[in-house]
Structure 1
Amino acid sequence: MFLSYVKQVTQLLTNFSRLCQKRRLFLKGTGQNGKVLPPKLNRRNAKNTRTLACWVSPKVKAKEVLMLFLSHYLLFPPQRENMVLLREGMCPGLDEDLVRRLRNAQVKTVEDLVSSDMEDLAQKCSGSYQALIAIRRVLLAQHAAFAVSGADLYDELLASTAILSTGNSALDALLDSGVYTGEITELAGGPGSGKTQVCLGTAAHVSHHLRQNVVYVDTTGGLSASRLHQMLRSQTSSDTEQMEALQRISVHRAFDIFSLLDRLYQLGGDGLRQEASGGSAKALIVDSVSAVIAPLLGSRHHEGMHMMSQVALALKTMAKDFNIAVLVTNHVTRSQEGEVRPGLGASWGHVPRVRVLLERLPAVGRPAIRSATLIKSSRRPCFLQAELDLESWSGCERAMSAKRTLDAAVS
């Protein structure tokens, strides 16, 4: 099986050599008639990318050959390696002796067993027909994919989905009651638009009022513990409740894409269930994803897109597998027509289920008011707008602002 696969790869590189000759590019070891004369391959060095790279002349980028090799592996992988091999203890009744007899009968994988005639197989391996039927039934239940009705999916959605309030009534109304678990919600806006303020307010509200654990990943250094504590003090005067709410918020810092991916992978490996005391986390906040992804989307476009897709996959997987609400922030750019839109391009636009654009308002005397526009949603019409009061999470700031206004009017 593997030798035939090596021959296929050799033929692939032969075709690539002919293409290179047409483009006046040459491969080392190219003989007559465009045939490639590769070094001796075996199972060990055939998987070594350095072997493939040194095979190619410096005039030809090794990356091109490697990408061809990987694409061929993805399109035509060895079929036997993708099948589940039968082994002892896989299910009741499948002992070492039966596995050996099945292999002697050329039944080596689960697919071989479930697709075989049980009567004929019982005669070949001198086994019990009833035992083979029972083993086949168990293996089908473990490895087969069964159709699920839409009603069952809807019932599962209702049982697993929760709505977490952000603590701001206007934002909750715009988001159809709040952020949903199992989804990614994005806040996009320029500097000073209030993205971090909304993230801090949501974390404080979820940890104190909803008594749920929150994981906060800071990539910009904008998280302020004193600001978070100030929000909690405006919501409760009890020091004990304030400390309990702070303990439910787990803070992580990641200032580059590799640290962020490493942190997300750690959290995805049951890390969310162990982060905070009192149960698993219900919300994940990343402020912001664009701060670590955008620097990679310049000249190194392909590498940046790959890293961005890894972050997107990790966030989606965590949202679904752990049934948590994911809230991320993004920067904004301007189109050629001058229209403000979220950053990271069209590829990232498919990642969040809900997108909200935050903008400053030029209103005099109302510095904490922001305009929020719903630009993507599967539940509500797009381009709905609302005015957010960023001081709604901090009653003490509102009182101080009113006092300053009164003092200015008196003077």
Structure 2
Amino acid sequence: MVVLREGMCPGLEEGLVRDLRAADIKTVEDLVSSDMEELAQKCSVSYKALFAIRRVLLAQHTAFPVSGADLYEELLSSTAILSTGNPSLDKLLDSGLYTGEITELSGGPGSGKSQVCFGVAVHISFHLKQSVIFIDTTGGFTASRLLQMLQTETRNTEEQMEALQRIHVFRLFDVYALLDCLYSLRGGGLQQASVGGGSVKAVIVDSVSAVISPLLGGKPNEGMSLMIQVAGVLKTMAKDFNVAALVTNYLTRSGGGEVQPGLGVSWSHIPRTRLLLERVDKAAVFSPSSLRSATLIKSSRQRCHIRAEFDLKWWSRSEDTSSSRKRKLEETDS
């Protein structure tokens, strides 16, 4: 409740404030919800002057009402859904990654988080012909891996190179560098990355926990503040520029021994959607399978705790197809 006082806006003088209070109009909310004609008579002021004061106070202190239908229409017109390239993951995510939102992949070592990020980047750059910002904080990014995936999609070297050029890579290894990069992207870097290569439709951070979690142990207050800054700039960037933000997170255990995404409760409210990735055959240490499971643990659109299996080789089938092609060529030559 905002109390009316002298000087809040032009025309709201001491005498008028006194008259308004005598008429039991003490707050901005009281004034804007009153009958202007009746109030003008009570306070011996012109209707036009009182209406002008009301209009200024509305602009300064209250939000203009928007209907739910208008908000929904705005959402439909601004939101795009980006396929991950993997049908099983798309089904879990209700068709794919939504622009304007943050989606999180959490999982332990070897769960396939980075491979999924690579696959998403390749799919958006090659099939959608849009640009991707890929922020690597672990040193796990390799261009050769992306090229291997692209070789599945096309044999044309020029097309492969064009797709690679649409993936803009930043290697950053502390939270301050990450923040500098995100602020720079929000301040104009996204538009620059869009020049000549389609607009930026996805920002991938692999991983957000690698640069934040070390600070939460030693200096928790400072770490928490930096984490909230990272979350804030990612959310505003996703919404203001209509991009999908995809981040990865590590796993930790709760007091009861349950596996859960890291970075604590405060971070858990940041992603709109969260997937937990796990290896299907955890016992196969020496010959690990490429099969992984994904469990939806947070969503505003789907029923949570639904699970699907997918194959990491979906984005790199060139290993199999190239081998079979090579064998066929050898058989033909012989």
TM over 0.5: yes
Q: 1:164 to 1:299 in 2, by over 3 A?
A: same
Quote how far apart the aligned CAs of 1:238 are: 1.3
Query: Structure 1 counterpart of 2:175, which letter?
Result: I
What's 2:226 paired with? Answer: 307
What's 1:277 paired with? Answer: 195
SS in 2 for 1:370: strand
SS in 1 for 2:292: strand
What's 2:127 paired with? Answer: 209
Q: Is the 8 A contact 1:235 1:394 kept in 2?
A: no
Query: Structure 2 counterpart of 1:113, which letter?
Result: P
User: How many pairs does the alignment contain?
Assistant: 283
The whole-number CA distance in structure 2 between the counterparts of 1:247 and 1:142 is: 46
Quote how far apart the aligned CAs of 1:283 are: 0.5
Q: How does 1:186-205 map to 2 (within 5 A)?
A: 186-205=104-123
Please state if 1:221 is matched with 2:114.
no
275-284 vs 344-353, which moves further: 275-284
The whole-number CA distance in structure 1 between the counterparts of 2:63 and 2:142 is: 48
Quote how far apart the aligned CAs of 1:299 are: 2.8
What's 1:288 paired with? Answer: 207
Quote how far apart the aligned CAs of 1:351 are: 0.4
The whole-number CA distance in structure 2 between the counterparts of 1:136 and 1:246 is: 57
Quote how far apart the aligned CAs of 1:293 are: 0.3
Q: Is the 8 A contact 1:391 1:398 kept in 2?
A: no
1:94-118: CA deviations, max 9, x gaps? xxxxxxxxxxxx97xxx5227578x
The whole-number CA distance in structure 1 between the counterparts of 2:192 and 2:180 is: 16
Quote how far apart the aligned CAs of 1:137 are: 10
What's 1:342 paired with? Answer: 261
1:330 to 249, 253, 263: 249
Q: Is the 8 A contact 1:114 1:140 kept in 2?
A: no
The whole-number CA distance in structure 2 between the counterparts of 1:339 and 1:402 is: 44
Q: Is the 8 A contact 1:257 1:293 kept in 2?
A: yes
Quote how far apart the aligned CAs of 1:139 are: 6.8
Q: Is the 8 A contact 2:292 2:311 kept in 1?
A: yes
1:47-78: CA deviations, max 9, x gaps? xxxxxxxxxxxxxxxxxxxxxxxxxxxxxxxx
1:339-360: CA deviations, max 9, x gaps? 2110111111000000000011
SS in 1 for 2:191: coil
The whole-number CA distance in structure 1 between the counterparts of 2:117 and 2:53 is: 52
Q: How does 1:133-152 map to 2 (within 5 A)?
A: 145-152=63-70
Please state if 1:397 is matched with 2:315.
no
The whole-number CA distance in structure 1 between the counterparts of 2:58 and 2:125 is: 41
Please state if 1:377 is matched with 2:299.
yes
Q: 1:195 to 1:112 in 2, by over 3 A?
A: same
SS in 1 for 2:72: helix
TM-score, normalised with respect to structure 1: 0.64
The whole-number CA distance in structure 2 between the counterparts of 1:335 and 1:112 is: 53
1:125-155: CA deviations, max 9, x gaps? xxxx9xx99x989978976741111110000
Q: Is the 8 A contact 1:248 1:277 kept in 2?
A: no
What's 1:249 paired with? Answer: 167
Q: 1:368 to 1:247 in 2, by over 3 A?
A: same
The whole-number CA distance in structure 1 between the counterparts of 2:156 and 2:212 is: 40
The whole-number CA distance in structure 2 between the counterparts of 1:371 and 1:337 is: 23
Identity, in percent, stands at 60
Quote how far apart the aligned CAs of 1:338 are: 2.9
Q: Is the 8 A contact 1:249 1:276 kept in 2?
A: no
TM-score, normalised with respect to structure 2: 0.78
- When Rg is computed on C-alpha atoms for both structures, the one with the higher figure is 1
Give the RMSD, CA atoms, in angstroms: 2.6
SS in 2 for 1:112: coil
Quote how far apart the aligned CAs of 1:310 are: 0.7
The whole-number CA distance in structure 1 between the counterparts of 2:11 and 2:148 is: 63
**Structure with greater contact order relative to length (CA < 8 Å, sep ≥ 6):** 2
Query: Structure 1 counterpart of 2:246, which letter?
Result: L
What's 1:235 paired with? Answer: 153
Structure 1 residues without counterparts, runs of 5 or longer:
1-105, 118-128, 404-411
Please state if 1:321 is matched with 2:240.
yes
Q: 1:212 to 1:142 in 2, by over 3 A?
A: farther
